[in-house]
Every structure is written in C-alpha cells, then in structure tokens.
Structure 1
Amino acid sequence: MLQKGSNVIIGNNVSFGENVVIGNNVVIYEGTIIGNNVIIQDNAVVGKQPTRAKASILPEVEKLPPTEIGSGVTISTSAIIYANAKIADDVFVADLATIRERVTIGEKTIIGRGVAVENDCAVGSFCKLETNCYITAYSELEDYVFIAPCVVTTNDNYMARDKERFDKFKGVTVKKGGRIGANSTILPGKIINEEGAVAAGSLVSKDVERENLVMGSPAKKYKPVDESQLLKNQ
C-alpha cells in the first residue's frame, strides 16, 4: 500500500515496498528504490542529482545511479537525500538533514536535525549524529560512533588556496565507538581510534589514541576512557 499526500512528484521507475507513507510536496527522483514501511515526510527530496558550481574544483560527473532507501527508514520534513546514497534499514533522518551523493548510512543510525553529511562519506551502523553537526566529504565513521551537536570536521589544510591541495583532501576517520563532544573541531585527516573520546569544545590536531579521552585546544590526552563507558560494558 502506498499512501501519499498532495503535490507529490514521483519520477519514472521508482520502486516502492509495502506500507510506504509519503507526505505533502515530496519529490522522489527517477529510479529511486524504497523499501518496506518507509515514512517520507513533507517537503523531503529523495534522489536529487548533484549540481556543480562553475567555480567548483570537483570534476564534472555523469548522471549518478539512483538512491536506495532500506526498510523501516524515516525521512523527516525538508530532508534532502542525493542520488547514489544508500540508506540501510531502520535509519532515522531528522528534519532539514542533508545526505549527499555517494554516501552510505548503516542500519539503525540516527542522522539528527540539520546534520550535513557531505559527499563520499561512509557512516556505520548504530551511530548517532546529533543536531547541526557537519561531516566533511571523504570521511569515514565506523559503527557505534557518537557525534554531538555542532561538531565540525574538516578536509582541507590549505583553506581553499594553492593548487597543491587538489589531491590532498582528506576527511576524518572515527573508528568503532569513537565519540566527539559538542562544538569540537577535528582537523583534516585526523583519526579518532577505537572508543577514543573528545571532550566538548576541543580542537583535535593529532590522532586520538584508542580508549583515551582528549580535551583542550589543541586537544591533549587527559585520561583513559572510564571502563564503565566502553562498549563492552553497555
């Protein structure tokens, strides 16, 4: 059963599973694959092809493959999911979130309100990306990662100057169970190792060791992560 609201635009060759509910003013682009028991709320856009600014340094690309939405997914009001994104089962995408092209999101992950996941990122399962955090392009977040509100990750050490930067973009890596506190900034290419933690308001300019908590600007090792907070004890 497909239930849809007013002014819904559905492109050619979109496939729907069972029990899909679509709100008002939703746009679903051609070829999109949608699983069972999916909710797409008002004003959401699914399967949008990226557009390239004239001054962009990124190469032009051919038309990208369709978006794939797993079963049990909720796409909330005014969220935008680009073409060639793959959203696994039971993911929750909150209002105003943006998931760019060639992004994968693992099962049961929460993408919070206003979160931006830029192009070519991989986000694992059981992650929580909270309100207004920014995941820069070419980043990898493994399973059980926690990103607090207003965290900023970066991928350009040259700050848009110098042609040398073109082949040196590198996002951040957060290994399994890594956690980053509110308003922290992670510099390009840095790695938060397994169950590493970053205190709120920190500036991470060096890799974070496994099961260690860092804090400050620049962030420095403060202490081991409390044993009670490790994944094995949850």
Structure 2
Amino acid sequence: MIHPLSDVKSSAIGPGTSIWQFAVVLRGAKIGANCNINCHTFIENYVVIGDNVTVKSGVYIWDGITIEDDVFIGPAVAFVNNSYPRSKQYPDEHTGATVKKGASIGANATIMGNLEIGTYAMVGAGSVVTKCVPARALVVGVPAKIVGWLNEDGSKMKFENDCYLANDGTRWHVIENKLIKK
C-alpha cells in the first residue's frame, strides 16, 4: 500500500510494504517486503532496507545506509552519512551505518556514519552512537555506552555466576565488549 500523498519513485518495493502519507522514497532505494514506512520520512537513492522493517515518523535515511531484516527505527532517529560535511562539497562515497538483523533504535537517537549496530542490539532513546554496537548490546547515553546484554526478544539477560544467562538457557561471557557463547 502506497499512500497517494506519498512521493515514491522507486519500483524496488517488496510486497506487503506500506508507505504512508508525506513519505519520500527516491528512485534508487530498495525496500523489502512487509515493511511499514511511516509518514514524514525520507529515503534517499543508495539505501537498502530489508524485510519486516518499521521506520517511524520523522526519520531520514541517507545514501550509504543499510538496514537489515526485522529492524525497528523509532521516531525522529537521525542518521549521519558524512563525518565532515561542508556545503556544496560532496564525498566520493557516503559512509552510512549498517543496522543488523533484529536491532532496535529508540526515538531521537543519533547514529553516526561508518559504524554497525549489531544483531539484536538496542539503542536507547536519545542516545548518540559514535562507535560500533556489538550484537545483543543495550546502549544508552551521550555518547552511547553498553549498559546490558539482550535476548533476541529484546529482554535483558540475567547475570548469574560470572556469566549472562539467555532465555533459552545458553550462557554468555563478555570478552573485549563482545558477547561470546560459553
């Protein structure tokens, strides 16, 4: 479903995807199946969005950004794809972020370019992400820092006996800011 008050130039839109009023999608963008692109969004040419992605209102997704399957992007999330912007000076290549499968980004977070938000990671509302976020990490703050580790469903893992315990019973250790299965 493409709302008649949206401006969608791309033909690479998967089945079951909804694009709401006042959204703009440029010609080169690729959007997967069963996505929900809310009103007042902008998706530039060299963007790839996977399947089952939710993009809430007021999000602008610039060239060079990749969003994998099952990702949630909260309202007014700001992505950056040029670390040193100047008016009328364009980089040879835009270095946007990659948001991996199942990750969630809370409202009003800022995601700098040339970094990765790991699989099933979560960025808290209002956070400013300046470094890569490991898989399953929960980060908050300015700049964003790891404050916990998550199950695939987004719930926090419990810490017991010097390791993190997942919902499925697996045990994990943190080594060099990465979660490693025991």
* Both structures adopt the same fold (TM-score exceeding 0.5): yes
What SS class does the counterpart of residue 221 from structure 1 fall into? strand
Give the whole-Å Cα distance in 1 for the aligned partners of 2:91 and 2:136: 33
| Identity fraction in percent | 31
Aligned to 2:77: 151
Give the whole-Å Cα distance in 2 for the aligned partners of 1:85 and 1:192: 27
Give the whole-Å Cα distance in 2 for the aligned partners of 1:203 and 1:147: 14
What SS class does the counterpart of residue 91 from structure 2 fall into? helix
Post-superposition offset of 1:134: 1.4
Question: Does the Cα contact within 8 Å between 1:85 and 1:100 map onto a contact in 2?
Answer: no
Moved over 4 A (4+): none
Q: Higher RCO, 1 or 2 (CA under 8 Å, sep at least 6)? A: 2
Q: Are 1:78 and 2:5 matched, yes or no? A: yes
User: Which one of the candidate residues 106, 121, 139 is aligned to 2:47?
Assistant: 121
User: Which one of the candidate residues 8, 16, 24 is aligned to 1:98?
Assistant: 24
Q: What count of residue pairs does the alignment treat as equivalent?
A: 156
Q: Aligned-pair RMSD on alpha carbons?
A: 1.8
TM-score w.r.t. the length of structure 1 is 0.63
Aligned to 1:177: 102
User: Which one of the candidate residues 127, 140, 152 is aligned to 1:215?
Assistant: 140
Name the aligned partner's letter for residue 130 of structure 2: S
Post-superposition offset of 1:136: 1.4
Q: Which moved more, 1:153-162 or 1:109-118?
A: 153-162
Structure 1: unaligned runs, 5 residues or longer: 1-73
Post-superposition offset of 1:229: 2.4
Structure 2: unaligned runs, 5 residues or longer: 156-166, 168-182
TM-score w.r.t. the length of structure 2 is 0.80
Name the aligned partner's letter for residue 22 of structure 2: L
Q: Are 1:139 and 2:65 matched, yes or no? A: yes
What SS class does the counterpart of residue 214 from structure 1 fall into? strand
- Larger Cα-atom Rg: 1
1:196-215 alignment to 2 at 5 Å? 196-215=121-140
Between Structure 1 and Structure 2, which shows a larger proportion of helix residues? 1
